[in-house]
Structure 1
Amino acid sequence: MSGPVAVVEVACDESGFSGTNLLDPASPVIAHAGVDLTRDEAAAVLDTLRSRFNHRRTTEHKAHLLLRPGQPEAVAWFLGELAGRSTVHVVDKRDHVAGRVLDLLTGEPSYLDGTRLGRDHGGGAAVLRDRGDVLAAFVAMTRLKHRRRPDRAAVDRFLALVPGMVADGVPELAGLSRRQVVAVLDRLLDGDPAVPPPLEPLVPALAETVLRWGREGRSVVVVHDEQSALTPQRTAVLGSALAAAAFPAPPPLVEVRQVDSRRDPRVQVADLLAGWARSSAEPAR
């Protein structure tokens, strides 16, 4: 008989979430952090930041307090406290959109797309990443909120770029038709639960965090700051996709529970870590 499944509870938050405005040059990456601290341990970290490093007392800590000039000792201490108790996953938003072009339009979309378990698009995604016109056209075409049907002009603009993409080294898009594109957009508009949201990098970022914590057959309960992108339907489909990929091992994702970060010191610590990671990953401005 197999023993009980090990379950770890991980508190998570992100930094750099910009909704569907994925190509904003002021926010090129999103960082997703997870910590397995207890509430008391997280509260102690925050208390030390207040007392030892002169952070002002607030109900919620934000990364700019840790990253302001003259704080290298605070950063070093903070990262040391989280050594072995945290993970960070950073997503370049241009890479995300480039991958989604191919995920959505060249095969059956999956909630594993954009993760280590998804399809590897290799050179094609690298080519698309540097085609700002293509990325912008794709974002405009798949921004479907408040629409009842696909935007015909946006579809036309995207399809007009396909021959150039194929010539530049993305043969997967050869022969892409309007009918194929509109069929995928209609599935998104109809709320097909099998199709992941193309403009929400937080979803695959959460999946990567779960996969890191779920190593060695553990299951993960996620306590997350409130995020509109992480709807119950999406997290349920993501959990099912991860479970199918892991079978016969235990399901990696058991539950996603959203909380008010002001009431959970663990999530505040995750927010600080995500903010530090995002600042470190972005070019200096």
Structure 2
Amino acid sequence: MSVEVACDESGFSGSNLLDPVSPLITHASIDLDVPTAADLIAVLRSRRRGEYKSSQLLRREQRPALEWLLTTLRGHAHVHVIDKTTYVAARVFELFTEEPSYGAGTSLGTDHSAAALALRPHTEFLTAFTDLTRTKRVRLMDHAAVDRFFATMPPDLPLSRARVEEVMQRLIDEDPSIPPPLEPLVPALAETLLFWSAGQRSVAVVHDEQSALTRGRVARLGAFLAETIQPPPLLSFTQVDSKHDPRVQVADLLAGIARHLTQHPADPRTTGLLDPYLNRQPTGWRL
């Protein structure tokens, strides 16, 4: 038994996760088939000329179209919402206080939400953490970055320099068992798989082209989930150009709408239409 879902995101900004202008990432998924998604897009386009974007649907005069879309998708869509700062704060604990795994940042991992919430205001420390863990093309330990990390660390954190340097060396050596520390789309994909599989079926994913979701990362995530849950949640993973897949276009619209309305809640009716789509995991955003 399996299901195919199409996915897209909104708010992804690479490793710049602490930008206050863009605090959220939304990862939307839908289980519509191609003809149904194409018909939905056609209805929206019939209301105006040209391609529809989420920003256009959010205009006041487009509120009927927005409400129609959210009503039509009921039971066929899911949105995982990540507060980027909370994600970064939780990564400190997931990397340096436990064995890193592809379950980190998901409902299968340790709930660090309370500790992450307490750490959120320490912007200088979180910036030092992101600087430290950017290890792409790095082959030697950056001891100055480690120094900055400990110099800005709140005094009550139970972190040792030996442990931090051990994990950092594994990252530098590209240990495949450690997920990328600054790629929130990896746990977002995991939560999407857990939602749609529901412990009963496998999920074929069609995703908009996204450099963060490399073949190796997706394969390791799939293997981790298969060791934990049966049937294996991930059946297949295919990246496509959204221009050629109306299902991904619908997911793109929903992701953009969810990100905007979660950051800037509209009237209660519209918020109420969106709320059933949003997940409630500890590292996700709460309305």
Question: Structures share a fold, TM > 0.5?
Answer: yes
Within a 5 Å distance, the mapping from 1:65-104 to structure 2 comes to 65-104=56-95
Alpha-carbon distance, 1:233 to partner: 0.6
Q: Which residue of 1 aligns with 2:42?
A: 47
The aligned counterpart of 2:217 is 234
| Post-superposition CA distance 1:73-112 (Å, at most 9, x none) | 1110011110100001100001100110000011110100
Q: Pick from 178, 184, 188: which aligns with 1:205? A: 188
Aligned 8 A contact 2:12 2:25 in 1: yes
Letter paired with 1:215: A
Query: Of 137, 149, 156, which residue of structure 2 is paired with 1:146?
Result: 137
Aligned to 1:263: 244
The one of 7, 25, 33 aligned to 1:12: 7
Give the Cα–Cα distance (whole angstroms) in 2 for the partners of residues 150 and 40 of structure 1.
Answer: 52
Which whole-Å CA distance do the structure 2 matches of 1:67 and 1:148 have between them? 46
Alignment gaps of 5+ in structure 2: 266-287
**Could you report, residue by residue, the CA deviation over 1:186-244 in whole angstroms, capped at 9, with x for unpaired residues?**
22222211101111111101111111101141110110001010001100111111111
Which residue in 1 is equivalent to 2:175?
192
Write the mapping of 1:27-176 to structure 2, written as runs, cut at 5 A.
27-51=22-46, 53-54=47-48, 56-58=49-51, 61-162=52-153, 164-166=154-156, 170=157, 173-174=158-159, 176=160
Contact preservation (8 Å) 1:31, 1:274: yes
CA distance in 2, matches of 1:117, 1:238: 12
Percent of aligned pairs with the same amino acid: 54
User: What stretches of structure 1 move > 4 A for 4+ residues in a row?
Assistant: none
Q: Provide the rounded CA distance (Å) in 2 between the counterparts of 1:165 and 1:226.
A: 42
Is the CA contact 1:141–1:150 (under 8 Å) kept in the aligned structure 2?
no
Letter in 1 for 2:45: R
Question: How many positions carry a matched residue from both structures?
Answer: 265
What is the distance in 1 between the residues matched to 2:232 and 2:74?
Answer: 26
Contact 2:199 2:231 in 1 (8 A): no
Report the Cα distance in structure 2 between the residues aligned to 1:82 and 1:266, rounded to whole angstroms. Answer: 12
| TM-fit CA distance, 1:161 | 2.8
CA distance in 1, matches of 2:221, 2:196: 15
**Equivalent residue for 1:272, pick from 253, 258, 266:** 253
Aligned partner of 1:3 in structure 2 is: none
Unaligned runs of 5+ in 1: 1-5
- The 3-state SS of whatever aligns with 1:87 is strand
Distance (whole Å) between structure 2 residues aligned to residue 255 and residue 159 of structure 1:
41
How many angstroms does 1:122 deviate by?
A: 4.5
